[in-house]
Amino acid sequence: MPELPEMETYKNLLNERIAGKTVRAAEVTREKTINVPVDAFKARAEGRRLERVDRRAKMLLFRLDGGDALALHLMLGGSMFYGTPEEAPDRTAQVILTFDDDDRRLYFHGLRLGYLHIYDPPDLEAKLRKLGPDPLDPRFGPNELAAALRRSRGALKFALTDQAVIAGIGNCYADEMCFAAGIHPLRKLTDMSASQLQTLYPAMQSTLSEAMRYGGYMETPLYAGDKLTGGYNDRCKVYDRGGEPCFRCGTPITKTESNGRKVFFCERCQRLGGESGDPNGDAAEARRLSYQH
């Protein structure tokens, strides 16, 4: 499922290509993908200028002039493609937006679990109000992260992926930032010290920054010739690397499952019962080494 780095990548690439364009036509092939009748959706979207694309948590917000916004959540299996009908993947699109200046269209695929809803400002504000702070918000620092996590119980990973606690992190990047911090993802929050919670902040920022720089880990290209999207997939330190050697110490990466979620970690570098098991005994050095890969 796309997380913050994937959606931030899509946001930037789309703003370069469609910001300022007018939606000439909106085609809907699956009414369950939207939240209003098809005729109402078309009436509110067609003829509107797309001012910009924003991101909030794991969603993209397509801001239309007049105040409405299209809120996209790709969920599991969703993707987008921007291009001509000849370039588009041979898949059924649930929604297609056509713009005013050329033959390229924005296709929304795989939205069986995901959605593209249209909201007026009050309804959108009510929806977004349920989300926790964004990790990229400059007002969200180490103390704010520690305080947010302290309000949760249970394992660290489940707090990191709770969108009401912190908005935008999912399975992949929770595991990646726990590895960067040298902390076991299933460590109970009640067993963690304030200094350990604060250690997560630079690990979170470094992990997300690297993932955004390389286009996230989802490898579905946004347009023909897209060389950025998915570039982080081969740079994951632990996620989806079960059985492969740890880049830090060589121990095989453990894959397990907890509460229905896959969890990846290094048993030597991220010991469950205490401080990081880094062979040098220096968590900062361990993080530095992990970032070099």
Nearest to 136 by CA among 233, 199, 201: 201
261, 262, 268, 271: the active-site residue: 261
Residue 133 appears among annotated catalytic residues: no
User: How far is residue 150's CA from residue 223's CA, in Å, rounded to a whole number?
Assistant: 41
User: How far is residue 50's CA from residue 118's CA, in Å, rounded to a whole number?
Assistant: 13
Residue 130 appears among annotated catalytic residues: no
User: How far is residue 199's CA from residue 146's CA, in Å, rounded to a whole number?
Assistant: 9
Nearest to 174 by CA among 189, 190, 164, 162: 162
3, 6, 8, 176: the active-site residue: 3
Which DSSP category does 155 fall into? B
21, 44, 55, 58: the active-site residue: 58
Which of helix, strand or coil describes residue 255? strand
Structure tokens, 189 = 């929050």
Which residues are designated catalytic? 2-3, 58, 261
